[in-house]
Structure 1
């Protein structure tokens, strides 16, 4: 029984302190410096784009866990005027500090660091604008995008921009210049993005929070429609609803975000490497799920992982996951129901019947289980 919205594997990870070798560096962009943090590895690097008011450190809680499984290079950075990054002292006009300038700075920084080839992008919020623009400039280099409640330009209609224009701008001080220029240039950023189409060849996981953050109903409906339209525009785009999570999904449900990124990264590997990565992730998920049994999401995560293997006809892996789930959650009728389904697909009818019986004992209102059990007994 599928009590979840996930369309791909979700593994569960508990909190692990960061300990991988990390390079903290300032890169000269042309008389001023931008701050990058790099967790080096082997494979297609992953670049994280923070939201409007954040610098690269906002991602720190998930990086080590992603690196542990993928072993690839992870890159975070501070946009100019944020965190440890400086602003270009040669720019004089407020309009010069727009998103096009920001993307050019990023491109220079990545090139100097040697990461100007294939890449995976992970944006949050305003970072969605950056990755859209970057992907449009490098459609053959961007191998995957995992959007985390990330901006879509269709949300910013002329009426919305008028409302934003009436709001008071942030103070203009040396400490707030980054956010000041971002807000001042927001209408122009929207105009730039309206002329750009997200590359159709780049696969996307569009992860969204279902929680309205105080928006008027009409605007909230516009946001949801924009995401639906974006996903439905191409067959290589997948919607993922982060149930129970607010805007900062990677804080509210880090396991979900971590494993969506692992899923995207796996698509850059050959079949043998994919199997090795998934087995490593599975082993890690099993051990950490035992430690984190009290976390309500751990059962959901394992259940979703089992169904992912089931959908891919990897029955042995699916059976292993569902069996562990019944051991970890012996009072869950859903765990036994799912295990029964997998056993049935594996032609292990007698064992499947026992699982469905146990599921119904735990939840006499499990109508789906009753129906299947009746059918099995009549065969």
Structure 2
């Protein structure tokens, strides 16, 4: 009994120690609070910046693996109005909630937490704008940037902004203030970013998805050109094409993102520290390889697999094939609201409106939160 009790205590304290490494906190940044989640460690911290519409939890699937190898501090956060972060109650004009206000809020939060020195940045999508702005304001503190299909301002031409202006603005409710202000201020955000150059001294790995998400061919060509021009502008920038991955590369191919971030982190270390890291990197690569094969087998003909197959047909304008795949998905996964949602989308695109409405109603029945 005594031996068992000793084992229990050891396991308890180990569990407590591991749990206590993560700090989930609200930081007061001037009468309102911003949410940060910090996986504590030693070394140059890595800050993750989510895309539009996402909060910091979007990164949860890759953090443990990165922390296990690097041992450094990992930081995620919710921008104002997203997740658990509040909006500044003292601001009155909608234009006050733009990206310049957002970057000051981030800087204040990081400073209060003690992370206002050297840092590595990992942005996704819209987070690329924040990273560009942050790096331009702190070029000597930002030691590396790993961009994951992240925004570059050259993609947002005046014509694109006009198209965006014609799109419906999200409703303004207490729950949607973040995305509402983001969309409202998007043109001004682009104008701000057009005046800013990404600092040439900061090394960058620019990871991009090769999958066109329904853009016209000429616009897709522009996107690829802007990324290529960005990388070619400096010798310390590298492009990685994430074959087979969509926009959320860190979900489609987490191993690629995890190992790329570890590589970037290792390049900030001295030779002795890199040697210590090497064994962990090799062990991690083996684990990720095993997990990738397991996931591949689990996803073979899974709901997500069929759904993506259907959208591939849609992108190629093979609507009859898309309808067949989406219909099969609803038959194989009758409890999936997303399967009915996707089938409804394909039916609508095929001008089968009555059937589309039926599928959308079924989707809402399964998931009343599906807006």
TM (norm. structure 2) is 0.74
Q: 1:48-63 residue pairs with structure 2 within 5 A?
A: 48-63=48-63
1:208-261, Cα deviation, whole Å (9 max, x unpaired): 000000111111111000000000000000000000000000000000000110
2: distance between equivalents of 1:288 and 1:204? 24
- Which residue is 1:257 aligned to? 257
- Which residue is 1:108 aligned to? 108
Please tell me whether the aligned partners of residues 206 and 239 of structure 2 are also in contact (alpha carbons under 8 angstroms): yes
- Which residue is 1:232 aligned to? 232
1:93-148, Cα deviation, whole Å (9 max, x unpaired): 00000000000000000000000000000000000000000000000000000000
- Which residue is 1:75 aligned to? 75
Q: Which structure has more RCO (C-alpha within 8 Å, separation ≥ 6)?
A: 1
Alpha-carbon shift at residue 285 of structure 1 (Å): 2.3
- Which residue is 1:198 aligned to? 198
1:4-27, Cα deviation, whole Å (9 max, x unpaired): xxxxxxxxxxxxxx9673100000
Q: Name the structure with the higher helix share.
A: 2
Distance 1:287-1:173 versus aligned 2 partners, 3 A rule:
closer
* SS of residue in 1 equivalent to 2:201: coil
* Higher mean C-alpha deviation, range 280-289 or range 84-93: 280-289
Q: 1:117-266 residue pairs with structure 2 within 5 A?
A: 117-266=117-266
Please tell me whether the aligned partners of residues 255 and 292 of structure 2 are also in contact (alpha carbons under 8 angstroms): no
- Which residue is 1:307 aligned to? none
1:308-352, Cα deviation, whole Å (9 max, x unpaired): xxxxxxxxxxxxxxxxxxxxxxxxxxxxxxxxxxxxxxxxxxxxx
2: distance between equivalents of 1:167 and 1:206? 29
Alpha-carbon shift at residue 151 of structure 1 (Å): 0.1
Distance 1:232-1:20 versus aligned 2 partners, 3 A rule:
farther
1: distance between equivalents of 2:55 and 2:288? 29
Q: Which runs of 5+ in 2 are unaligned?
A: 1-17, 298-371
Please tell me whether the aligned partners of residues 95 and 185 of structure 1 are also in contact (alpha carbons under 8 angstroms): yes
TM (norm. structure 1) is 0.72
Alpha-carbon shift at residue 284 of structure 1 (Å): 3.0
* SS of residue in 1 equivalent to 2:240: strand
Structure 1 segments of 4 or more deviating over 6 A? Answer: none
